[in-house]
Amino acid sequence: MTTAAEQALAAPLGQAAASPSQVPGNAWRTGIAASGAWLVLGAITLAWPNREIGFSDWNFTTEFGGAAIVAALLLLAIALLGARAGRIGRGLRTAGQWLVAAPLLLALWEVATAKLGLLPPPFFAPPQSLIDVVHEDWQRLGLSTAHSARLLAHGFVLGALAGFATGVWIGWSRVAGYWVHPLLRFLGPVPASALLPLAFFFAPSSYAAAVFLIGLATFFPVAVLSWSGVASVNKNYYDVARTLGAPEWFLVLRVAVPAALPQVFVGLFMGLGASFSVLVTAEMMGVKAGLGWYLQWAQGWAAYANMYAALLVMAGLCSGLITLLFTVRDRALSWQKGTLKW
């Protein structure tokens, strides 16, 4: 008959003992703390009257407080279930500390705006004003988001393809490296937004000018890092491929490009950030729809809550595209996981 000590020694090596918060059936302590934080947010929103400054009696205060309390109850139920909460519980555990911090930040925002008026309206609005914006102006905001996504897709894809092809060409061809590389280093650092007047003068439409500027902002980082990736490929790879009878196109497409892909994706990440900054500038100047246009329209009407809503939508769109690009990178470079830091 084995004792408890013998059973512990018989456990597989390297298997860590489960902590009390991870034992199936035990409550999730961080989830309980998060539930309390959301409950505090709901109580502050509902029990503390809003301070009316001029016209600033904020709509959807009751709905916002009620939603916070509902979130608190759901988190409490998931926390008490512990490991029995299943996939939902495991997914929320990874964001446990954020689930505590987010309601506290929202409560601070609520107190500084709606309750005490420390941040004066209309320049600052409480969190429930964003619900009001979505309720009242969701069609214009959604249409602007769709226009921005289409414009960004056209400009980013064209700029990324041109930058990738140029970078591979410069990295592979000595002639291109001699003639094109100096031009790229000389003209590439010029901000795309500095060419805004010329783009709108020569382009056939404001949309084409915006696509060109976004593509230009994407082009430079992708081209430079694609060139760097191809130029830094180990020459032994080419020698082995040539020994096996590989033609020139095989060396480029099957040796140089796959080896350079990690740096190409770095260039794509940088190009995506640059394209977003140019997107807002281009839409403010000439495009008649989009999030940049929406920001300018909201500022002109002193609708600062609408402006904050557009900024949040823009941040969500950028974050979603970065996540999508990470997913594509993980799939494209799955064969290099053992040799690269992820």
> Taking a C-beta distance cutoff of 8 angstroms, is the pair 162, 221 a contact?
no
pLDDT of residue 24: 44
CB 221 within 8 A of CB 191: no
Q: How confident is the model at residue 205 (pLDDT cuts 50, 70, 90)?
A: confident
Give the largest Cα separation in the chain, rounded: 89
Q: What does the pLDDT read at residue 107?
A: 97
Side-chain-side CA neighbours of 105 within 13 Å: the count stands at 6
pLDDT at 293 exceeding the cut of 80: yes
Give me the pLDDT at residue 188, please. Answer: 78
- How far is 126 from 132, CA to CA, in rounded Å? 10
Average pLDDT for residues 276-292, to the nearest whole number?
A: 82
pLDDT of residue 308: 92
Going by C-alpha positions, the residue among 70, 64, 142 that lies closest to residue 107 is 64
Mean local confidence (pLDDT), 13-31: 56
pLDDT for position 169: 92
Q: What one-character-per-residue DSSP string does 61-90 give?
A: HHHHHHHHHHHHHHHHHHHHHGGGGHHHHH
Can you tell me the mean pLDDT for 63-89?
93
Mean pLDDT score, 264-286 = 87
Residue range(s) in the chain whose domain bears CATH number 1.10.3720.10: 128-333
- Region 157-178: mean pLDDT is 92
Average pLDDT over residues 217-222: 94
Task: Give 287's pLDDT tier (boundaries 50, 70, 90).
Answer: confident
**Which band of pLDDT confidence, cut at 50, 70 and 90, is reported for residue 340?**
low
- What long-range pairs does 58-63 form, CB within 8 A, spacing at least 24? 58/114, 58/125, 58/126, 58/128, 58/129, 58/132, 59/128, 59/129, 59/131, 59/132, 60/128, 60/129, 60/131, 60/132, 60/135, 61/114, 61/126, 61/128, 63/128, 63/131
Residue 324 has pLDDT above 90, yes or no: yes
Answer whether residue 23 shows pLDDT above 90: no
pLDDT of residue 151: 93
Helix, strand, coil share (%) of the chain residues, nearest 5: 80, 0, 20
Angle at 321 between CA 318 and CA 325, to 5 degrees: 135
The fold of the 128-333 domain, in CATH, is MetI-like fold (1.10.3720)
pLDDT of 183 > 50? The answer is: yes
User: How far is 131 from 309, CA to CA, in rounded Å?
Assistant: 9
Q: Which residue has the tokens 């092809």?
A: 165
Q: What percent of the chain is predicted at pLDDT more than 90? A: 47
Asked whether residue 241 carries a pLDDT value surpassing 90, the answer given is: no
Tokens of 207: 């949309």
**Sign of the CA dihedral with 167 first, then 172, 177, and 179 last:** negative
> Residue 225 CB: number of other CB atoms within 10 A?
24
pLDDT higher than 60, residue 22: no
Q: How far is CA 114 from CA 1, 48, 64, 111, 338, in A?
A: 68, 9, 12, 6, 52
Using the predicted structure, report yes or no on whether residue 280 has a pLDDT greater than 80: yes
**Where does the pLDDT of residue 38 fall: very low under 50, low under 70, confident under 90, or very high at 90 and above?**
very high
pLDDT of residue 238: 83
The rounded distance, in Å, linking the Cα atoms of 125 and 141 is 18
- Say which DSSP state 189 is in: T
> Among 27-36, 77-86, 163-172, 180-189, whose mean pLDDT is lowest?
180-189
Write 168-171 long-range contacts (CB < 8 A, 24+): 168/226, 168/227, 168/230, 168/252, 168/256, 168/257, 168/260, 170/223, 170/227, 170/230, 171/226, 171/227, 171/228, 171/229, 171/230, 171/231, 171/256, 171/260
- Mean pLDDT value across residues 161-179: 91
Mean pLDDT of the chain: 85
> In this predicted model, what pLDDT tens digit does every residue of 100-137 receive, in sequence order?
999 999 999 999 999 998 988 778 889 999 999 999 99
pTM score, whole prediction? 0.80
Token couple for 84: 């029995």
What mean pLDDT comes out for the span 333-337? 74
pLDDT score at 202: 83
Query: Who wins on pLDDT, 250 or 13?
Result: 250
